Chains A and B, each alone.
Chain A
């Protein structure tokens, strides 16, 4: 089945140790998004790619970076995780002007 896949599902890192989260899609969608979701809150958009064009939300900290080497894959890099970065990270995809499909998320724990 076509889908959005995130790896790993659970990631534990140490304070300040860089971490990379992975997202892949078989939907061939142009747009890929990264969201941060903290407990009992709505997902918060960090940035998105429209094809190769990167679009950062104004309030996304510089600590968060992203790469999209091809249509199928997108990575979220957290350069120096702090305790406040512990959250669920959601990847989503969409075709132009259509609904977003979410992956299962990666739960990040920062020790």
Chain B
């Protein structure tokens, strides 16, 4: 089955600096890669996603890049703010009988220091 590795497990940055989280996946059939932000005591919220036919996607301060050949994808947050502090999960998904089977990474706890 699919295996998703995520690094680093914790990340501390100064407010205004950039943060980068990296993930690798094993199953070449995976074709959709969402990133979720989970704040304490809340459910994961989708913040950005990318499909396998695209190499990069940007939404304001957040960007995701995908390298299908190397099977890795990354989340980039620029100009970090204290409210960016949360746990971030990457995921790899593939079509499976009408639904998307998702495999999550192990999570990165991001702390933005004011």
Q: Taking beta carbons and an 8 Å cutoff, which residues of A are in contact with B? A: 4, 6, 30-31, 40-43, 45, 48, 50, 90, 92, 94, 96-105, 107
CB-nearest residue of chain A to B6: A42
The listed residue (B42, B46, B102, B104) touching A105 by CB distance below 8 A is B42
**Could you show 9 A-B contacts with beta carbons less than 8 Å apart?**
A40-B107, A41-B107, A42-B89, A98-B100, A100-B46, A100-B102, A104-B42, A105-B41, A107-B41
- Nearest first, the 6 closest Cβ-Cβ pairs linking A and B are A42-B104, A102-B43, A31-B99, A105-B43, A104-B43, A102-B44
- Note all chain B residues with C-beta closer than 8 A to A30: 98-99
- Give residues 60-114 of B contacting A (CB, 8 Å): 89, 95, 97-100, 102, 104-107
Q: How large is the interface on B (under 10, 10 to 19, 20 to 34, 35 or more residues)?
A: 20 to 34
Task: Tell me if A100 and B107 are in contact (CB < 8 A).
Answer: no
CB-nearest residue of chain A to B95: A97
Q: Is the interface of B mostly helix, strand, loop or mixed?
A: strand
Task: Tell me if A101 and B46 are in contact (CB < 8 A).
Answer: yes
CB-nearest residue of chain B to A105: B43
- Note all chain A residues with C-beta closer than 8 A to B36: 102
Given A40-B107, A42-B105, A42-B106, answer yes or no on A100-B42 (Cβ-Cβ < 8 Å): no
- Note all chain A residues with C-beta closer than 8 A to B43: 4, 6, 90, 92, 102-105
- Note all chain B residues with C-beta closer than 8 A to A100: 34, 46, 100, 102
Task: Tell me if A99 and B32 are in contact (CB < 8 A).
Answer: yes
The listed residue (B34, B45, B99) touching A50 by CB distance below 8 A is B99
Given A31-B99, A40-B107, answer yes or no on A99-B49 (Cβ-Cβ < 8 Å): yes
- Note all chain B residues with C-beta closer than 8 A to A104: 42-43
CB-nearest residue of chain B to A96: B98
